[in-house]
Amino acid sequence: MLSTDICIIGAGPVGLFAVFEAGLLKMRCHVVDALAQTGGQLSEIYPKKPIYDIPGFPEVLAGDLVKNLEKQIEPFKPTFTLGERVERFTRLDDGSFIVYTVAGTEISCKIIVIAAGLGSFEPRKPAIEHLALYEGKGVNYMILDPEHYRDKRVVIAGGGDSALDWTIFLANVAKEVTLVHRGTTFRGVPESAEKVQHLAEAGKIKLLLKSNVVGVSGEDKLEAVTISFNNEEDVVQETDYFIPLFGLTPKLGPLEDWDLELQDGAIVVNTFDYSTSIEGVYAIGDINTYPGKLKLILCGFHEAALMAQSAYKYLNPDKKFTLKYTTVNGVPTL
């Protein structure tokens, strides 16, 4: 079982900054996220889009902001469980918690910080008959370990950044990569679209435009997909993996069953310290709500700072707290 001071649910920008604020007060953090990478929406949905309202950055790409936040928390050596959604938590007699993920990971902690953005992101699944039968048996909705696909046949569907990026990456890993896209133009970064086109022209990948995967088949695991082309006969293509990458949709998920006070799908908090209706549990960022709430990253950073101050006092009720500025003391290490 993993053990830490604070378990942060959500590895988006607010969750990452919470690690920094907690680290300044010498509190250890373990971060859990359902996505396979840190950054939340910034990494998964718009990594190449500029953000203009981060103090000190007239303009910063979303992906670069995530990298900077990761670098900022390095001195505090946080640990991560990625690609696993938190399912529930229990409170022990001593007031501490155990957090459980769907994969069976258990985290012992003294404080829980929910920084889950708009909720746990779940993949948008195409409407293909029997698709669920092959989930985990050749059908995957995210790529956790690229090496899993080495020397395998892979069919990717989608036209956004994720589909383009993974097609480019797996072109040098998989035995065969096919990208299926219903349109003729891509929603992703033009540079990535050009790379995919060049790979197709060089014969390193198969690029099927104006087409859709409409069927899956196989005995105990996925063995083939059926691809439909506009005004042409369907084609059955043998493959080891089918990875539909149609983006993510936010859902509150298990949070609805955690006995937290909710309002319009968000967690109600006390604006003094962003504590929830459960003692020792905080909620920061887009997941919370209160009068005057603004769903901005910079507001989430503010909430993370106040949360960390309160969490320190909660863990150390007998210690006298003195605010220390980083300009005077620098950044400590754990």
pTM equals 0.70
Nearest Cα neighbor of 72 from 270, 334, 271, 331 is: 331
Q: What is the pLDDT of residues 212-228, one digit of tens each?
A: 999 999 999 999 999 99
Find where tokens 């036209």 sit.
Answer: 159
Q: For residue 121, what pLDDT is reported?
A: 66
Find where tokens 């929603």 sit.
Answer: 187
Q: Annotate 210-254 with DSSP letters as a single string.
A: SEEEEEEE-SSS--EEEEEETTS--EEEE-SEEEE---EEEE-GG
Q: For residue 120, what pLDDT is reported?
A: 63
| Cα–Cα distance for residue pair 71/161, rounded to 1 Å | 24
Nearest Cα neighbor of 157 from 194, 115, 209 is: 209
Q: Where are the alpha helices (DSSP H) in the chain?
A: 13-24, 41-44, 62-73, 161-170, 190-201, 297-315, 326-329
pLDDT of 119 strictly over 90: no
| Cα–Cα distance for residue pair 145/324, rounded to 1 Å | 41
Least confident of 216-225, 231-240, 246-255, 310-319: 246-255
Q: What is the pLDDT of residues 82-103, one digit of tens each?
A: 989 999 999 999 999 999 999 9
DSSP state of 139: B
pLDDT band at 196 (very low <50, low <70, confident <90, very high): very high
pLDDT of 162 strictly over 80: yes
Token pair in block for residue 247: 């983006």
| Cα–Cα distance for residue pair 308/25, rounded to 1 Å | 8
Name the percent of the chain lying above pLDDT 70.
98
Q: How many CB atoms lie within 10 A of CB 165?
A: 19
Q: What is the pLDDT of residues 279-290, one digit of tens each?
A: 999 999 999 999
Per-residue b/e over 198-211, b at no fewer than 16 CB within 10 Å?
ebbeeeebebbbeb
Q: How many CB atoms lie within 10 A of CB 262?
A: 16
Token pair in block for residue 271: 């604006």
| Cα–Cα distance for residue pair 270/290, rounded to 1 Å | 8
**143 near 166, Cβ under 8 Å?**
yes
Instruction: List beta partners, residue 88.
Output: 100
pLDDT band at 12 (very low <50, low <70, confident <90, very high): very high
Token pair in block for residue 221: 């695991």
**Phi, psi (deg, nearest 5) at residue 154:** -130, 135
Angle (CA) 146-147-151 rounded to 5° is 110
- Residue 259 region, left (φ>0) first, then alpha (ψ -120 to 50), else beta? left
16: helix, strand or coil: helix
